[in-house]
Amino acid sequence: MGVSQKWFRILRGRFIRSSNKDIILPRTSICTNECEEAILRNEDFSFPTQTPTPVSAITKEDVAAIKIQAFFRGHLARRAYKALKGLVKVQALVRGVWVRKQSRIAMQCMHALVRLQVRVRSRQLLGSFDKKSTIN
């Protein structure tokens, strides 16, 4: 239970420290200035939409909700990443065991082939000695 509430404590600590300051949302956009100005003037020619909320109408509660959502999504992303890392480790462990087993089987087959080759060569050599001794 302590682990599930840790993200909320971190969030609460950061929010309480920043509550005395005026919160200003960072303005990030990939649009050009003309596009941003058209959006601010509500000039969208492609399709009719609802009027956007003016930046001045965003309250501190909205900003707090956005921060809480961002922190919670970050928490979920970190937890999913840890789970994925654990899964990758388990997968590597299983694959390692499988590869070691496969290499052990391959080495046993190679050893059997080498023994067979030694027998065949020894029979060939013994057969050639027998032929030479009968010829002389």
Alpha helices in the chain (DSSP H): 2-18, 33-40, 60-135
Judgement on whether residues 59 and 10 belong to the same structural domain of the protein:
yes
Q: Which of 77, 106, 124 is the last residue of a domain?
A: 77
Judgement on whether residues 69 and 13 belong to the same structural domain of the protein:
yes
Q: What's at 47, amino acid-wise?
A: F
User: Residue 104 belongs to what domain range?
Assistant: 86-136
Judgement on whether residues 68 and 100 belong to the same structural domain of the protein:
no
> How many beta carbons lie within 10 A of that of residue 29, not counting itself?
9
pLDDT digits (tens, 9 = 90+) for 45-56: 455 455 665 666
Distance CA 24, CA 100 (A): 58
Distance CA 79, CA 91 (A): 18
Kindly report the pTM of this predicted structure. Answer: 0.37
Q: What is the DSSP letter of 56?
A: G
Say whether pLDDT at 108 is over 90. yes
